[in-house]
């Protein structure tokens, strides 16, 4: 089945710096790649997604890139702010399933 790896598991950055989280997947049937943010004590919420026919997508300070050949995709957050502190999950979607990575705990230090 699908296996999603995610790195790093923890990440600390200074406010204003950029943060990058990388994921790999194994099942070539996956063609939709969402990213979820989970703040402490809250439910995960979708923040951005990318489909396999697109290489990059941006939404304000957040961007995702996808290399379908290499089965890599990444989340980039620029000009980080304290409210970006959370756990971020990448996911791959073989057929109708959603398989999540283990998560990255991001801390933005003011």
In sign, the C-alpha dihedral spanning 56, 98, 106, 70 is negative
Under rule CB under 8 A, which residues in 19-78 are in contact with another protein?
Answer: 31-32, 34, 36, 42-46, 49, 51
User: 46: cis peptide before it, omega within 30°?
Assistant: no
Q: Measure the CA angle with vertex 29, ends 26 and 34; round to 5°.
A: 75
What is the separation of C-alpha 54 from the centre of its chain, rounded to a whole number of angstroms?
A: 16
Among 24, 80, 85, 93, binds another protein (CB under 8 A): 93
How many residues belong to the site for another protein (CB under 8 A)? 25
- Least Å distance, CB 15 to another protein, is 26
Footprint of another protein on this chain (CB under 8 A)? 1, 6, 9, 31-32, 34, 36, 42-46, 49, 51, 89, 93, 95-103
């Amino acid at each position: 089945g699908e296996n999603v790896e995610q790195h790093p598991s923890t990440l600390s950055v200074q406010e204003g710096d950029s943060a990058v989280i990388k994921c790999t997947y194994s099942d070539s049937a996956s063609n939709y790649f969402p990213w979820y943010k989970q703040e402490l004590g809250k439910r995960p919420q979708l923040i951005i997604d990318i489909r396999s026919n697109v290489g990059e997508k941006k939404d304000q300070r957040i961007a995702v890139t996808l290399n379908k050949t290499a089965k890599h995709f990444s989340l980039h957050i620029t000009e980080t702010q304290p409210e970006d502190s959370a756990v971020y999950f990448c996911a791959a979607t073989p057929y109708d399933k959603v398989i999540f990575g283990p998560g990255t705990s991001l801390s933005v230090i003011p």
